[in-house]
């Protein structure tokens, strides 16, 4: 078998194993009550401790988007439409995607490293000997916490980004505040916000599942842990960017007929 075919075969095998993990997680949700102590710990680790990164990203994105939109719109005397562009862009696209990428870089790497270390030190095998399924005790709390944290962090990033854009647009660039807010309210539909939050649910699941999968299948000692961590962040980030395109098409068609 040629190296290319071996690479394709390995990728397909990993994809199949990932879908099996997804099935195990769904089965665990149906038949087992989550450990609330583990869930709250992961909720604090994923949600609370990621706020600084997400807030900084949201604010910086809102300010840059406001400035660049204003510079282009000012050429055609459409300065007051800047707020609408920032609001729609942050709510439906930039907020969910950038928040998910930041969560992936911070939380996904930590998940993969933690589970990978447990794998190479045979702690996961010890769990199995104690009749504790790794999916129930390790994966399910992380997936559930990611599903709860991702929409909340996305909403926080969107709010901070829009607020920062208003400050830049009104205080620095001289846009009239009333027109800025009125146009923002007029052209931002509830569908834009809802679609962004739905996307964040998918992104949260993607981050947790891919990171846990890479950690549980880690091999090769300390070097393997590092490799699994890198692969988890890269795979989750690429999956988020690709899936965002298809989710945009599906949600647009679903909400707008």
For the beta carbon of residue 206, count every other beta carbon within 10 angstroms.
21
Q: Please tell me the least confidently modeled range out of 36-40, 95-99, 155-159, 231-235.
A: 36-40
- What percent of the chain shows pLDDT beyond 70? 99
Question: How long a stretch of residues is the chain?
Answer: 257
Task: Give pLDDT tens digits for 171-205.
Answer: 998 888 888 888 888 888 899 999 999 999 999 99
Non-local (6+) Cβ contacts of 17 within 8 A are: 213, 217
Q: How many domains does the chain have?
A: 1
CB 143 within 8 A of CB 25: yes
Residue 26 within a domain: no
Give the per-residue pLDDT at 30. Answer: 79
Residue 18 within a domain: no
Residue 10 within a domain: no
When pLDDT is averaged across residues 200-222 and rounded to a whole number, the result is 90
**Is the pLDDT assigned to residue 252 strictly greater than 90?**
no
Which domain covers residue 49, as residue numbers? 33-256
Task: Give pLDDT tens digits for 96-142.
Answer: 999 999 999 999 999 999 998 888 888 887 877 777 778 888 889 99
Query: Considering the chain, what is the average pLDDT of its residues?
Result: 88
When pLDDT is averaged across residues 145-150 and rounded to a whole number, the result is 94
Residue 117 within a domain: yes
Residue 20 within a domain: no
Residue 83 within a domain: yes
Residue 131 within a domain: yes
Residue 19 within a domain: no
Q: Please tell me the least confidently modeled range out of 86-90, 127-131, 143-147.
A: 127-131
């Amino acid at each position: 078998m040629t190296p290319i075919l071996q690479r394709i075969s390995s990728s397909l095998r990993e994809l199949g194993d990932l879908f099996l993990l997804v099935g195990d997680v769904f089965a665990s949700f149906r038949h087992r009550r989550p450990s609330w102590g583990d869930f709250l710990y992961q909720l604090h680790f994923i949600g609370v401790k990621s706020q600084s990164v997400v807030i900084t990203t949201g604010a910086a994105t809102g300010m840059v988007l406001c400035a660049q939109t204003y510079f282009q719109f000012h050429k055609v005397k459409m300065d007051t439409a800047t707020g609408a562009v920032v609001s729609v862009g942050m709510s439906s696209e930039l907020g969910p995607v950038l928040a998910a990428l930041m969560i992936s870089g911070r939380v996904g790497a930590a998940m993969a490293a933690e589970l990978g270390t447990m794998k190479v030190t045979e702690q996961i095998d010890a769990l199995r000997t104690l009749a504790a399924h790794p999916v129930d005790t390790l994966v399910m709390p992380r997936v559930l916490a990611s599903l709860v944290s991702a929409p909340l962090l996305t909403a926080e990033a969107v709010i901070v980004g829009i607020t920062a854009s208003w400050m830049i647009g009104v205080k620095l660039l001289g846009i009239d505040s009333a027109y800025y807010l009125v146009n923002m309210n007029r052209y931002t539909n509830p569908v834009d916000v809802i679609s962004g939050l739905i996307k964040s649910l998918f992104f949260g699941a993607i981050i947790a599942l891919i990171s846990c999968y890479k950690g549980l299948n880690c091999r090769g000692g300390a070097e393997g842990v590092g490799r699994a961590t890198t692969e988890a962040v890269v795979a989750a980030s690429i999956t988020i960017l690709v899936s965002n395109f298809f989710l945009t098409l599906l949600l647009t068609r679903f909400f707008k007929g």
